Structure formats: structure tokens, C-alpha cells
Structure 1
Amino acid sequence: MSGTVITADPTTIGLSTDLWIDGRRRPAMDGGEFSVHDPATEVVIATVADATAEDALDALTAAAAVQDSWAATAPRERSEILRSAFEIVSERSEDFARLISSEMGKTLAEARGEVAYGAEYLRWFAEEAVRIDGRFTRSPSGAGQIMVTKVPVGPVLAITPWNFPLAMGTRKIGPALAAGCTIIVKPAEDTPLTMLLLAEVFDAAGLPPGVLSVLPTTSSALVAETLMGDPRLRKVTFTGSTAVGKVLVRSSADQLLRTSMELGGNAPFLVLDDADIAEAVDGAMAAKMRNGGQACTAANRFYVTESVASEFTDALAARIAALRVGPGTDPLTDVGPLINRRQAERVARLVEDAVTDGARLRVGGAIGMGEGHFFAPTLLDQVPADARILREEIFGPVAAVVTVADEDEAVVAANATDYGLAGYLYTRDVDRAAHVCARMATGMVGINRGIISDVAAPFGGVRQSGFGREGGAEGIEEYLDAKYIAI
């Protein structure tokens, strides 16, 4: 039995689907538009202006024109605008949640959680805006004084993903504005509506025209290439796949742009022989099934020591089998659709290949529910070490369980990847946890917890999961240059 499906029609919340450039709505220069679909039904929920390279240059012209004045704006004033935006997002949380659920597919409960999480970045960086520090010291030679100040890097291009359409935007917009940078946001083609609504929030919060532009587009590569080739742009920040990140890093070389890259992940989840199994299963459900597995921090590979493997796998299989799949806008849904048909088919191929290679399908494995992009929550065990599903980021509701002999084998297997974003560890021994964490080649580790993101902590990875950090005290540094003044 289904609950009441709650959809978000952009027109009912007063949302314009034009571009947002220089503090106003406007159509694309060539009049182009594209459709945004509900991934649960494939129904068109909005038609959005499709930005061209010329539109992008207009946005950069606006950003460059006000960069100096925005940088000179008092930190307290920048802080108050961010704080006001936080309050407006919080007041309109249900509008944002329904919009996110409609265009991205995540459950309403998770969409509401994203709104609260995303808004916190605005509050956090409102507080950081007035705490940008420097230093003043005497030169060791005694010949003078050393003063170090921090200055904004300049206009920023932020390229955001579809899986957290609000939070991945605020995590970049917040520190950029706090630091005194103007910013152009190119949201994902699948989910542009949330960012367009956020632009209107900032306008209501008093952000000056030109400081923020939002460019939905189906010509992502062309728009990014055009902006990154212009010397007025000084930084690009990207969240998305490693393959695209590498292209952007190469493109950044000609103008020597500052770059922040939050890229793919292949998170290991280690369950050691002394773990609390009930807690480990709870953590596994959060780390794997949140957002339908469509998160860069999602646990992909579960390495479980053999003494507890059966208990853990049986309990996890029962929990996964009980999940209800349906439209994210249905309040009874536990797992919504994947973002598009292409992603659902890719997840299906990973599962099929694993089973062909010898993995055992314990739960799920099916694709399709009418017209939507659904994939049943799935558990595989007895997964061979060379299976493709252990090497690639799944980005779907599929858990792959591998039994290991001991802690050492678990750590070696966990590190056997090119990625290094997040990892998870369950053990009751604090000393053991510290030892294993030190050996894990990841930028973040969760000990006895399945959700690790926190606005007050630095988010980011190592190796092919990228570089730079978002959130925490470190997040604003990505948008600041150090200036040395000799006195």
C-alpha cells in the first residue's frame, strides 16, 4: 500500500526556470531549453533554460565586475548575508525537500535531511567569514617584520553533482562567499531546479547582483571549457567522477587555476571479529543504502572476518530484503529510484558480472518498476577478489560482501584500490581502531558509525579520490591566497 505521493511543481513555489545571471532571471541567449524528469516516473517536471558558452561569458563578466567590491565587503556583512540565506532555506525547507525528491528521486525523509545538512554549510561559513586569520611576526634575522594576510582567490566556477543537489552547492558557495569570491555554479543537468531556487534565496538574503550566477546547461563541457579558458576565472571546484575531474585538472593548466577536486570513491567497510554485529549492521545500512547508494562516501566493499561473517551477512540480508522501493515522494518509500536509466543499467551489469564470476546473489538483483529507474536493494556475498564490482564505484543499492581471514587481510584488501575517499571500521577495541585507521589509505574514516559527513570537519580524499578539502576550518582556505607583506 502506498502513501500519498507529494510532488513539487516548480511553478507552485514561484520558481523561475530561467538562468540566473547578474542578479536576475533571463532565458538562454539562443532560447534553448531542456527537460528535467522525475526519475521515478520519467515524467517531465520542468523545462529549464539551456545555457550557452555566451551565457557563461556573460556570467563571468558580471562576476569579474563585482569581484573587487565583494572582496572589499566587510566580513561581517558577508557573514550576515550567509546567515540570512541559512534562515530562508530553513524556513523553506519543505519546498526544497519536495523539489529535491522530485528531481533527484531520494526519499522525502532523506531530502529533508539534505536540506538541514546543506543549510548548515551556510551557517558554518557565515561564522567562518569573520574568522579569516593571518599572522604578524618578527623576521628571524631581525631585519624587519613579516605580515601574512589572506585574500580571496577571485571568481570561481563550481561544478556540482546531482546526488546532493543542495548540499554540494552550499558546500562550495558558502566558503566562496565567506572568503570574498564571486562564484558561478553549473549544476548537474539532471537536477538544476534546486540550485535555481537557492539563487533566489540568496537574492532575498541581499546578495549583490553578479556575485552568484547559476547556469543549467546540457553543454557542460563547452561551458566549463569556455570559462576555464578565460583569464578572469581563478578557481574551479568540482564534485563528480574521477574521469571528469582529470579532464578538468588538465584544462586548468593553461590558466594555472586553483583547483579543488572531490572525486569518486570505493569505500571499504571493515567488520572485525570483535565488532558489535547489531551496530555494524545498522552502520552498514546507513553507509550503503543512504540515498540509494548514490553517494561518493557509500560503502561499496564489505570485508568481514570469517568468525562473524555469517552472522553479519545474514542480518544484513534480512534488513536489505525488508526495504521498500518506490518513488522518493511517497512517504512510505525506503529506497527511491536511481537517477536515470543509464545508471540503473550500469548497476545491473555490475551485479550480473559479479554473479557470472562466482558471487552469490543473496537478496535483490532485479531492475525495473514500470517507467522509473529502479533497482532492487541487493546483497552479494562470496564475491571473488577480482570482481569488477570491487574495483568500480557502484553508485547504487548493492552491497558486496567478502570474507577475510583477519584484520591484516581486511586492511590490505581495503587499500587495494586507486581510490581513497572514505572508509568504515567496526571494532570494540579503541587501540585496534586507532591502529587500523592509521593503516587505511583514505581521507576520512568512520569508527563504529555509518555516516561521517559533518560541516565542521574537512571532507575530501587522497589518491584518485581527489584533493582539497570542503567543510571545517579547512574549507575556506581553498578560496584564499596567502599574501606576504615585508615591513
Structure 2
Amino acid sequence: MNGKLYIGGKFCEAADGATFDVVNPYNLKKIGEQAAATKADVVRAIDFAETGFASLKALTAHRRADLLRKLYAAMLANEKEIAETMTEEQGKPLKEAIGEVRYAASYVQWYAEEGIRVQGDILAPSSSKMRLHVLREPVGPVALITPWNFPLAMMVRKLAPAIAAGCSVIAKPAGQTPFTAVKFFQLIDQVGFPEGSCQLLTGSAELIGEVLLDDFRIRKLSFTGSTEVGKRLAQKSAATLKRVSMELGGHAPLIIFSDADIKKAVKGAVLSKYLNSGQACIASNRLYVHTAIKADFVAALTESVRGLKVGNGMENADIGPVIDQNAYQKIALHVDDACAKGGKVLTGGQGYRAIDGAGGYLYPATLLDDVDDQMLIVNEETFGPVLPILTFEDDDDVIRRANATPYGLAAYAYTESLTRATKVMESLEFGMIGINTPGLGAVQTPFGGVKMSGYGREGGKYGIEEYLQTKIVNIGL
């Protein structure tokens, strides 16, 4: 595949014809080339986003909803092709990729309906010769910067509410996974959004980001990625006072209380940790299990984890390759550090190269026991398929330990006590809490974190608010 930029309603090469290679993370073979935008391309995209914003804002909310409904139908009709592209460039199992396409499409469907429900207000005047109207209007052209781990869902979760609100967009996907975005923009092109409504830029993150953030015409940035990069982007955005949404790193605790349903907790632990090879910001990173049920719980969990197959995502694997060598080395570092400090591998624990040592980087589903709070894996986000097991006896103590992190994205707990569940959900310092479930991404819910995990929300009625601003109109009679 040879992917292009999408600017002003047309696919195009970069101004200087430059491209970069895209590789399959399982076999490390080149699967195509993608256009690498120049500064001139970025400026041209902003020019079109400016005019496209005027056109999109002029449409009625119902007309924008019609376009989003067509896009939703197109995504479902092409889900297999998009999913296969995603697996080829990202590595996740095909069944997960298909699920991601459907999940992303649900946001398009939701915001087709949410956009027509944006409401203003009429306020009681303080004079008989005054009328007060409150308008909700789109903020303007927005920049969307998204990661490689969920290359379609993270982009669509931002783009759908922006379009529904009337904002034009410039999307910048990760360099590892541009082809999924290209496939999605082919559907945008087919649907027939107004010229300049949606732009796709690929290439140097530094170059593209700098031009977008320096330009006053871009009125909002929505970013999903690491906390380190997010802080730099927020600082850069301050110069032009852009509105900013940040969905950043996480370090999720998973607490298994003594009264937990062990079967349910094991299933939840596997789903919350090993989906997408553990390469998820809401993945469980620290498992705390009460000493009273540790033996039974760990035995059941180990049996379940041992059944997970690692391999090629196109061949019914449960766990695909990690994205690259750097990711692999960080996983190995965390495991080696834990073992050197007394940790014990219950299953997995040794990564390897695919295809007779010449392919991508595979790491099997891994469980570590005898872990303590001083190990790297308890204090840093691993972003891989490794789950460390710690123990506790006191509820207040485990809540304190769970909160002992600068991150605050997601947390999970399993208990059959309503009283305990209430205390836990009110005490944990995280933006999203799963009680007896690993599910946190429902389309109608606000997705996002607190502390160093960012600010702003995506999903539900809350997500569209990120792309709206308030205007008061005072009419004198």
C-alpha cells in the first residue's frame, strides 16, 4: 500500500514527494510507503481547515448527522478490510481489530445523534428592554494527534464529536500505523463531507506538531499519548491559548478483595491486562490480591494465562507482537528487575523474536509473583503483557498503595460487598473505576483521567462539550 495525505477533499502526495516506510511488526517486512508531509503541506491543510470550518459550521446539525450516519454505515460495510490493514501494521489479533472497527463506528453513530441535541439557552432578563440568549458554537478548526495502539478508535473518538459540533479537523496518526487512518479517510472521501472538513497529515510528529500548534487558527488540540509528550504539547499550546484535551499515561491498579468472586475476577484480570498485548493505557499494571484468597486466585489466574497463544495476529493468536524493539526492551527490563529483586515468574517471562529469530518482538503473557512496591514494574507503566502480583490484608492500606502514583486514569476492584465497593470507588484517585468489570470504554461514558493522566473527556454527552464554546447575546429592545 502507498498512502497519501488528505487535504482539501483530495488525496495527494507530499509537496516534495517524500515518504516513509511502514513495516509489519510481526515479520518486520515493509508493507508500503506513506507520504511524509512538509511544512508547506501542513500550512495548506490549515488553510483548508479554516475554510472547511466555515462550510461545516454553516450546515445544520441534522445535515452533519446525515453525513456521520453514512460514515457509520461505510465503516461497518468495510470493517474486514480496515481490520486487516490494522493487524498488518499494528500487530494486534484480527478479532481484536474487527472489534476496534465496530467500537470506533459506535462513536460515529452516537455523535450523529448527540450533535442534534446541542442546546443553547434563554435567560430571564433583568430589564423589560433586554433579551438574553446563550449560544453553543463550535470552537473552530481542531488538531487531533493519536497513538499507534488503537489507531482507529483513538482517532474516531475525537473526530466524530468534532464534526458533530461543526469543527473541521486535521488528524495526525502515529507513524507506525498510518494506513488504518488512510483507509478511514477513504470512507470520509466517499461520504462527501464538505471540502476542508477533514484533513489527514502523516510524517514527522515534531514538524507537523510545531506548525499546527504555532498557528492561531487551530483553536483546539486533542492528544492521546504519553504524559511526557502531552506536557510539551500543552506548554506549546499555551502560546496561542488553544483549548487542550489530554488522554495520557496510566498505571492502573487491580484490587481483588477477600470476598471477590474468583472466577469473575480471573476473567476480568485477563481481559484488563492482556488485550492488545497489554499495550493499552487502561491496562491493569498492578494486581493486589488479599492474602486470604491469594492461593486459589493465583492458581486459577495462572491456568487461564497459560492458555493465551502468542503469535501472528492474522493467525488467531490471542497476543500479537509488541510494537517495536524499544517496547520489547522495556518489558524485559521490568521483568529482569523484578526477578533480580526476588520476584518469581509463574508463567511466561521470556520474550523472543518471531520467524526463527529474524522477525518482530514477541512476549508471552506473563505473571510475576512475590513482587514488592520497590520494583520498577510497580512504579512505571510497562505497556506490555506482564502482570505483577502483590498482596494486602487491610483495605485502607491497599487503597493508599493503589493511589501512590502520579497517574490517575483507570482502576479496577473486585468485591461482592456494596459497602466496600462504594468506599473503593469514592477513595480511588482515578478518572475511571471498574467494579467487578474490566469494561470502561462504553460510548456513552466519559473516558479520561486525572492527575498526570490528563484532562478532558471523550465519549457520551461529555465528549462533544470539548468542541463547543459558549456565547452570550444581549439584545436591547
Smaller-chain TM-score bracket: over 0.9
The residue aligned with 2:206 is 221
Counterparts of residues 274-423 of structure 1 (less than 5 Å): 274-331=259-316, 333-368=317-352, 369=354, 370=357, 371-423=359-411
Counterparts of residues 87-486 of structure 1 (less than 5 Å): 87-139=73-125, 144-217=130-203, 219-331=204-316, 333-368=317-352, 369=354, 370=357, 371-486=359-474
| AA in 1 matched with 2:417 | D
The residue aligned with 1:27 is 13
Residue 355 of structure 1 and its aligned partner are, at CA, apart by 1.3
| AA in 2 matched with 1:415 | N
Determine helix, strand or coil for the equivalent of 1:435. helix
Determine helix, strand or coil for the equivalent of 1:446. strand
Residues 87 and 432 of structure 1, relative CA distance in 2, 3 Å threshold: same
Give the Cα–Cα distance (whole angstroms) in 2 for the partners of residues 68 and 316 of structure 1: 55
Give the Cα–Cα distance (whole angstroms) in 1 for the partners of residues 370 and 63 of structure 2: 57
Give the Cα–Cα distance (whole angstroms) in 2 for the partners of residues 20 and 351 of structure 1: 42
Residue 22 of structure 1 and its aligned partner are, at CA, apart by 0.8
The residue aligned with 2:36 is 50
Aligned residue pairs total 471
Residue 140 of structure 1 and its aligned partner are, at CA, apart by 5.8
Residues 432 and 141 of structure 1, relative CA distance in 2, 3 Å threshold: farther
| AA in 2 matched with 1:270 | I
Give the Cα–Cα distance (whole angstroms) in 2 for the partners of residues 74 and 379 of structure 1: 53
The answer (yes or no) to whether the contact 1:459–1:470 under 8 Å persists in 2 is: yes
Give the alignment's Cα RMSD to 1 decimal.
1.2
Determine helix, strand or coil for the equivalent of 1:474. helix
Residue 171 of structure 1 and its aligned partner are, at CA, apart by 0.2
| AA in 2 matched with 1:392 | E
Residue 143 of structure 1 and its aligned partner are, at CA, apart by 7.2
| AA in 2 matched with 1:372 | G
Give the Cα–Cα distance (whole angstroms) in 1 for the partners of residues 251 and 129 of structure 2: 52
TM-score by length of 2: 0.97
Unpaired runs of 5+ residues, structure 2, are none
TM-score by length of 1: 0.95
Give the Cα–Cα distance (whole angstroms) in 1 for the partners of residues 22 and 414 of structure 2: 40
- Give deviations 1:151-210, integer Å, cap 9, x for gaps: 111011100110111111110110110010000000000000011111110111111121
Give the Cα–Cα distance (whole angstroms) in 1 for the partners of residues 350 and 44 of structure 2: 47
Give the Cα–Cα distance (whole angstroms) in 2 for the partners of residues 230 and 137 of structure 1: 36
Residue 144 of structure 1 and its aligned partner are, at CA, apart by 3.7
- Give deviations 1:102-150, integer Å, cap 9, x for gaps: 1110001111110110110100111111011111120467774432111
Determine helix, strand or coil for the equivalent of 1:40. coil
Give the Cα–Cα distance (whole angstroms) in 2 for the partners of residues 57 and 458 of structure 1: 33
| AA in 2 matched with 1:357 | K
The answer (yes or no) to whether the contact 1:305–1:410 under 8 Å persists in 2 is: no
The answer (yes or no) to whether the contact 2:55–2:194 under 8 Å persists in 1 is: no
Determine helix, strand or coil for the equivalent of 1:307. coil
The answer (yes or no) to whether the contact 2:373–2:379 under 8 Å persists in 1 is: no
The answer (yes or no) to whether the contact 1:304–1:410 under 8 Å persists in 2 is: no
The residue aligned with 1:5 is none
Give the Cα–Cα distance (whole angstroms) in 1 for the partners of residues 315 and 326 of structure 2: 23
Residues 245 and 142 of structure 1, relative CA distance in 2, 3 Å threshold: farther
Determine helix, strand or coil for the equivalent of 2:404. coil
Give the Cα–Cα distance (whole angstroms) in 2 for the partners of residues 139 and 434 of structure 1: 43
Give the Cα–Cα distance (whole angstroms) in 1 for the partners of residues 295 and 121 of structure 2: 57
Residue 451 of structure 1 and its aligned partner are, at CA, apart by 2.2
Residue 464 of structure 1 and its aligned partner are, at CA, apart by 0.3
Give the Cα–Cα distance (whole angstroms) in 1 for the partners of residues 427 and 199 of structure 2: 42
Identity of aligned residues (%): 42
| AA in 2 matched with 1:107 | P
Give the Cα–Cα distance (whole angstroms) in 2 for the partners of residues 229 and 285 of structure 1: 43
- Give deviations 1:355-381, integer Å, cap 9, x for gaps: 112211111111113311211111011
Residue 431 of structure 1 and its aligned partner are, at CA, apart by 2.2
The answer (yes or no) to whether the contact 1:306–1:406 under 8 Å persists in 2 is: no
Residues 143 and 310 of structure 1, relative CA distance in 2, 3 Å threshold: farther
Give the Cα–Cα distance (whole angstroms) in 2 for the partners of residues 31 and 142 of structure 1: 64
The answer (yes or no) to whether the contact 1:187–1:195 under 8 Å persists in 2 is: yes
Determine helix, strand or coil for the equivalent of 2:315. coil
Give the Cα–Cα distance (whole angstroms) in 2 for the partners of residues 337 and 125 of structure 1: 33
Give the Cα–Cα distance (whole angstroms) in 2 for the partners of residues 140 and 43 of structure 1: 70
The residue aligned with 2:52 is 66
| AA in 2 matched with 1:343 | A
| AA in 1 matched with 2:444 | A
| AA in 1 matched with 2:163 | L
Determine helix, strand or coil for the equivalent of 2:140. coil
Give the Cα–Cα distance (whole angstroms) in 1 for the partners of residues 426 and 128 of structure 2: 41
